[in-house]
Every structure is written in structure tokens, then in C-alpha cells.
Amino acid sequence: MRRVGVESESAFLQERVARFGLWIGAISLAGLVVRMAAHIALGHAFETFLSLAWGAHLASCVCVLGLWTALKGKPRSRRAIEWLEVGGLWGAALGYQIVGLYLLPEARADYVVVLAMNVMFVGRAAFVPSSPRRTAWMTALIGLPMIGLFYASLAARPPDPATPPEAEWTRTLNAGIWWTFITMLCVVITRTIYGLRAQVREAKRLGQYQLEARLASGGMGEIYRARHALLRRPTAVKLIRPDRVGERTVARFEREAQRTAALTHPNTVTVYDYGRTEDGVFYYAMELLDGADLQTVIEETGPMPAGRACRILAQVAGALDEAHRAGLIHRDVKPGNVILVERGGEPDVAKVVDFGLVKAIDEQDLTVTEADKIVGTPLYVSPEAVAAPEALDGRADLYALGALGCFLLTGKPPFGGKSAIEVYTKHLELAPEPPSSQAPEPFDPGLDQLLLACLAKDPADRPQTAREVAVRLEDLLDRLPEWDALDAARWWKQHGPALRTRRDAALQSAPGSLTLAPQP
């Protein structure tokens, strides 16, 4: 996990140096254009622009813009980034100094060059992440040739009665003093920003977890990729902020974390730790899932073969069975809350996530009226969750599991509609169509019968436990087309790149998913 942190820091440094090169190059190029426009307005001949001074100014622009060109593409090592930065800045500084050699003495070339380099290096200190020591030696060393060129250029000029003999010494000394002040200013700026970044990193530490990148954001909080300071294992940390959801909701999430942390089923997301920060933000750490949720899988590749769907449903039923026996109802079983990952070299391992709506079967808050509160997702909610949400038990999750099975086999949930009310009404009143009537491939009617039984309107007509559903699904596997680890590996090799592309686009536009497409 340390490697992830190093790569993240290098990527940040590369992005900042590239942008710095673009901005300083744009400023330098604008200065060149303004100078050319002024000379044209004064009537200078075109040959004027062919001198070494104009070429040096153009070379300076190329050096800093070259930083942007070299670093905007593929990732580079930190050492390569630092050497490219030194080379680009040294080349640009040398170009500015050569320009100064060709300025008239009355133009005070020393001050003009110092001012130009001051803009570049102060901008670098403020924009590019760096240690104070690195800023000090870079600024000082790159400025030394400038001081030498000042003295050499002044000493080489013909004697001028109007210019005191000691002019070259005094001007060179002044330039050296000013550059010393600039170096000190750059170090102070770097030290301040360097310290602020360290404070931000420390502020993003929750106990033993260092937050690295935000993966998702919602109304109740955020999810971050994080690393444990000692174990180095990949971790996702979810933050719940009291100012967004209220203290009562935070207390419910804390109870949920305590209960789900005790779940050990291999198909349930593992909760490692939980706690509160000093300012009251509740967090819990869980395993980081490198996979794709079922909603994304079906949207990207279409309905599943019955053998694969049955195997995944059996895993989800096993996870629900442990939760129900522990007295917990998930209440939001849906495709987006089941993630396919690879574990121990085995692909298509289902992980049930987001117990954010989990409810203890024996939990009752007498201070809150919940009779009119529908929980869950409309497309997968049970009839009793609509009619009597205060009286739910584990059979509500089995209804959602049946709806999930229909989605995997047909690409559509059992009921749709233009509004939540329309969907709720269908859950309450309409009989679902057999999935086999809409699936692209035929399959054993026993799977139809089991899913329709899970979708019974009356909970008493459904299978009574998740364990019963899991056993029946396992029995059906012998009568369905086989789907094994080799089939799953071939599938991910074919579809994994498209899923990763979709994942990356979603995170860049509006981070909202914790899932990552697995490597083939």
C-alpha cells in the first residue's frame, strides 16, 4: 500500500510541474509577443528579430513549455520529474540571462533579468510541491551563472566616462543581494506551503488510517481509499458527518458498524474498524473491493447465463443468511450493492456491501414514527416494505433477492415504471412474469419457480430463510449450464477493460462508486 502512496505523490508532483511549465511558458511567450509588437511599432527591421537575444527568449519559452509537453503524458518516476524540472528551469533562466546581455545599459539589464527570474522561481515555490532544502539549492545554484554573466558583460564593455569604474562591481553585488533575498523568499514560501500540506495530510488521518483519494461522495458523507499505517492493506474508509445527517443517524451507523463488523461470511464486505474523530465525524474502515457491481456488469454486457446468475445468487443468499441469523436485515439488496471481485485467484466472488439501511430485527426506536417511511430501492423493494415498513423481517431481503435474480437473467427488474409510486403499486398488485419468458436463453424451470417464490406478495408464501434459498440454488447448479472459474476468467479478460474505462469516466465526472474493475 506504501507503493500506492508513493505513486500518488509522484503523480501529483508530475501534474503540478507540468502545469507550472504551461503557465510560465504562456507568460514568457506573451512577453515575447509584446516585445515583438513594440519593436514593430517602433519601425525596427525584420532582421532585428534574427539576433541571439530574440532566439534566447524563444528558447526560454520552449524550455518551460517543454516541461508541460514531457510531463503531460505517461507517468514518470519522481527522479525523472525532478531532473526534467531542473533542466527546464536552468534552460529558461540561461535564456533570460542571454537576453539581458543584449539590452542597453540604460535598460538596467540586471534588474530586468532578476525580475523575470523572480517571477519564475517565486511562482515555482508557490505552485510546485517541494522541500525547503530543494528550493534553496535550486534557486541559489541556477542564479549563480546570472551573477557571473552580469559581471562579465559589464567588464567587457568599452570604458564610458559617464559610468564609474566600480559600476560592474556594484551592479553585480546588487544583483547578488537581490537574488539572495529572492532565494530566501522562495524558501519561506515553500516551507509555508510544505507545512500546510503536511497539516492537511495529518488532518486526513483517521486513527491508523491515512486517507489518499476520494472514491465516492453522497448526501451522508464520503468514501476514501486509505491505507493502514502498519498493515499496509488496501482499505476503504466511509465518513458520516453529523452536520449532514444528524446525531441520531450517526448513532445508527455506529450500531450498524458494530453489528456488521461481527459478520464473517466470505461474501459480506469485511468491516475492519470504526470510530469517531475529535470533531465528531464517525468513520468505519472496510475492505477495498477491486471489482464491478452487478448493475454495471449487466448494463455493460447484458443478461447473464443462468449458471453464472445462480452461482452469484447462492453467494448473496449465504451472506444474507448469516446476517439474518445475527438479527440483521439488509433492506437494500440490489445490483449496485453486490460487487464481483477476485479473491484468492477465484473470480466472480460476490460481495454484499452497503449495509447503510441495515436494521436489527429486534430494534425499535419508540421516539420515531417509521410507519410512513419506505426504505430500500423502489425497483427491488418488497410489498411489505411499502405497506408496513415497520414490520420487516429477513423475508423482505429474499423478495429483493428474487428481483435481483430477474435482473441478472433478463437485464430488467421484475417491475418498472415512470415513477416510484407506479413501481410500488406494481409490487403490491401485479404478478411478475417468469424470468424464462424474457431471458435470451432457456434454463431449468426450477430456477423460475424459486425466483417467483421469492417474489410472492405474502411473506408467508416465500422461502422462509436465506439458507433455504441458498441450498435450493446450490441444487439447481447441477441442472444449469456450467459456469466455472475458467469461464469467469475468460469473461473478465474480454470485458474487464471496458468496465475499467467506464469506471474511470464515472470517477472523473462525478465520483460515486467504490467499485473498481478487476485486472484480467
* Active centre residues (catalytic): 332
Residue type for position 487: D
Kindly state the cell numbers that stand for 81. Answer: 520529474
CA-angle at 228, arms to 226 and 229, nearest 5°: 125
Phi, psi dihedral angles at 505 (to 5 degrees):
-65, -40
Strand pairing report for 338-343 and 221-228: unpaired
Q: Please tell me whether residue 241 adopts helix, strand or coil conformation.
A: coil
268: which residues sit within 8 A by CB, 6+ positions away? 260, 319, 322, 323, 351, 352
Going by C-alpha positions, the residue among 326, 470, 462 that lies closest to residue 383 is 462
Q: Please tell me whether residue 147 adopts helix, strand or coil conformation.
A: helix
Query: Scanning the structure block, which residue is given the C-alpha cell 510541491?
Result: 129
Phi, psi dihedral angles at 222 (to 5 degrees):
-130, 160
What's the rounded Cα separation, in Å, for the pair 520 and 515?
A: 15
Q: In what order do the strands lie in the sheet containing 205-206?
A: 205-206, 209-217, 221-228, 234-240, 282-287, 271-276
Q: Please tell me whether residue 417 adopts helix, strand or coil conformation.
A: coil
Going by C-alpha positions, the residue among 283, 267, 249, 223 that lies closest to residue 513 is 223
- Which residues are 226's β-sheet partners? 211, 235
Residue type for position 279: D
Look at the chain and count its residues: 520
